Every structure is written in structure tokens, then in C-alpha cells.
Structure 1
Amino acid sequence: MTRNSTFRLIAATPLIALLAACGGETTDAEAPEPAGDAPAEIAERQDNFEAIGDSFKAIREQLETDAPDFAVIEPAAADINTRLQRLPDLFPEGTSMEAGYDTEALAAIWEDPEGFNEAIQTAVGLSEEMMAAAATGDPEAVGAQVGNLGKNGCKNCHDSFRKDDD
């Protein structure tokens, strides 16, 4: 295995896990019926997470090439940061799966708002580090920061505040 293909495999592994974690929403057959129509924020946050996944995919695809295009990587990293910053406004009280909505957002978000906000801020900070790495033009630095954001930002939040897909 060449150094470049080894790097691609190392860079792709956390991205694949992250994309799976940032994937689409599923329904819970035992969820109660919602009190009314779903608030617009649910669709907005689902679209926001889908776009985050798309940006991670764009970065991953570039890191898998022999000559990553940082004209793609840098704006994708900035998009992830911008979208993570929007998260606090996309989780109004009562929009959990326990409220009967088609979402994977757990009531823990509102039961532990400080923990949820801390998790978001951690992810935002890590995404800023990923943007800084992207600005260097160093694919290895970007791959390391993508993995760091996936493990210590996205996964950390998903483990506590999102329904487990397993």
C-alpha cells in the first residue's frame, strides 16, 4: 500500500463514521402522536444536518484524491462552521422524538440545556480548528482536524442528545 493510499484510508475512516452519524432522521414506531404540525425548526435542522454531511462528503472526496482542491475544502469547512453555529436556534422546546415528531432529537437536549449548549460550542470550536487547517493547504492537517471534529464534536453530541441508530 502506498503512502498516499494509506493516508486516504486513514483520512476516510473518521469521515465515513461522521457521515453515518450525521445521516438522515429515522422514526420511532413507539413515539406518541405529536400535538400538532411539526415546527418549521425540525425541517430546518434536518436540512442543516444534511448540508453538514454534504460538506463533510465534499472534504472527504477531496482528501481521497492525489491533489486535493482547497478551493472546495475551505468553503466546505466554513459551511460546516456556519451551520454548527445555527444549531442553538433549531431546537425549540418540545421538538423531540418523545413529543412524537419525526426526529432523532432526544428530550435530553432540554433536560440538560447547559450540556447541549456546551456540546455545540465544542463542535463549533473544533470546526474553527478545521477551518484553520484548511487554510494551510495541508491535507494531513485537514484530515486530522476532520477526525477530531467527528470524534470530539459530532459524536460527543450524538452520544448524549441523539437517538442511537444501533
Structure 2
Amino acid sequence: MNALPKFRLFAATATLGLLAACGGEAPADDTATAGAEEPAVIDERQANFEGIGDAFKLIRSELETGNPDVVAIENAATDMNERSQKIAGFFPEGTSVDDGFDTEALATIWEDKTGFESAAQDLTDASAEMITIAASGDTAAVGEQVKAVGGTCKGCHDKFRLDDD
């Protein structure tokens, strides 16, 4: 076989490969289909929420030590605050439990998008206040703010998260 037919075969194969790679579009109705692969965003949002939970646990455990490290609390609150600002971006339509994915996200997130975004903002605001309080060194006030932060989590979970217990 001379070089030109080999090149044409290579070019045709490469073109077909590129076309196949670009063809992985989501269904037009953004719903899961049988055997559909879970979107990576679900893992990303779950990791983000685990990070928020870990930061919250660190703050609570510091308060239980009797001599809390306010710098560690401030750092954890900062981490929580940064993660909370990403929440709304982790919920594209079609990624709820009702869409067949392994998630606790309820369809009410999209049915009440404004309420969901407001709930996420409540966590952002409460964690920002936690940063300020921790920086002041007032551990009693940090303890009170823990209740406020926890309340924002509960409020969101009660409305937008599947209670699988």
C-alpha cells in the first residue's frame, strides 16, 4: 500500500474517532436514562458537602476541647464559607434522586430554585459571621454561631434533601 491510501485511511479513522468523542451529548430533556452514567457534578457536590460537614465538625470539636484554637475555627469557617458559595453551581437540572441518580437531592431544588439559592446564601452568611466571630476570639459567641450555622444546614436539609433515615 502506498503512502496516500494509508494517510486517507488514517485521516478517516481519526475523523470518525473525533466525531464519536464529540457525540456524548445529554438527552434533550436532561433526565437520566436507563444505564446513564452518573454526572461527575454529583460526586463534586457530595465532596463539597462532605467538606462543609468536616469543617463544621472541626469547629464543634474545637469548642469541646476546653481550650479551643480560634485560628483553627476561623480556618474551618473560611473553608465552609468558600464551599458554601459553590453550592448553587453544583445542581444542574436532571441530577436529582427523581432522575435516578445516587443522590439525596430532591426535585424541590429546581421547583423552588429561589428558595434553594436563598438557603445556600444563608449558610454563606452564617459562615461569614463565624469567621468574624472566630477572629474576635470570643469562643462563647462562636458556640452561639454554631447553632446558627447548624440551623441553616437543617433548614436546607428539611426542604431540599431526601431524608433517607
TM above 0.5, yes or no, is yes
Per the TM alignment, residue 131 of structure 1 is displaced from its structure 2 partner at its CA by 1.2
Per the TM alignment, residue 34 of structure 1 is displaced from its structure 2 partner at its CA by 3.8
Task: Specify which structure has the bigger relative contact order, considering alpha-carbon pairs within 8 angstroms and separated by 6 or more residues.
Answer: 1
Decide whether the 8 Å contact of 2:32 with 2:94 is kept in 1. Answer: no
CA distance, structure 2, for counterparts of residue 165 and residue 130 of structure 1:
29
Between the two proteins, the alignment pairs up a number of residues equal to 133
Task: Kindly provide the CA deviation profile for residues 136-163 of structure 1, in whole angstroms up to 9, marking residues without a partner as x.
Answer: 1111111110111111x11111111001
CA distance, structure 1, for counterparts of residue 130 and residue 75 of structure 2:
11
CA distance, structure 2, for counterparts of residue 64 and residue 84 of structure 1:
24
Per the TM alignment, residue 122 of structure 1 is displaced from its structure 2 partner at its CA by 1.4
Which position in structure 2 is the counterpart of 1:58? 58
> SS of 2:37's equivalent?
coil
CA distance, structure 2, for counterparts of residue 122 and residue 76 of structure 1:
17
Q: RMSD in angstroms over aligned alpha carbons?
A: 1.3
Task: Please list, as runs of the form range in 1=range in 2, the aligned pairs for 1:1-166 lying within 5 A after superposition.
Answer: 34-35=32-33, 36-151=36-151, 153-166=152-165
Per the TM alignment, residue 165 of structure 1 is displaced from its structure 2 partner at its CA by 3.2
Decide whether the 8 Å contact of 2:104 with 2:162 is kept in 1. Answer: yes
CA distance, structure 2, for counterparts of residue 97 and residue 37 of structure 1:
14
CA distance, structure 2, for counterparts of residue 61 and residue 100 of structure 1:
36
CA radius of gyration, larger in: 2
The answer for unaligned runs of 5 or more in structure 2 is 1-30
Per the TM alignment, residue 65 of structure 1 is displaced from its structure 2 partner at its CA by 1.0
CA distance, structure 2, for counterparts of residue 139 and residue 68 of structure 1:
7
Q: Tell me the TM-score normalised to structure 2 length.
A: 0.77
CA distance, structure 1, for counterparts of residue 131 and residue 164 of structure 2:
29
Q: Tell me the TM-score normalised to structure 1 length.
A: 0.77
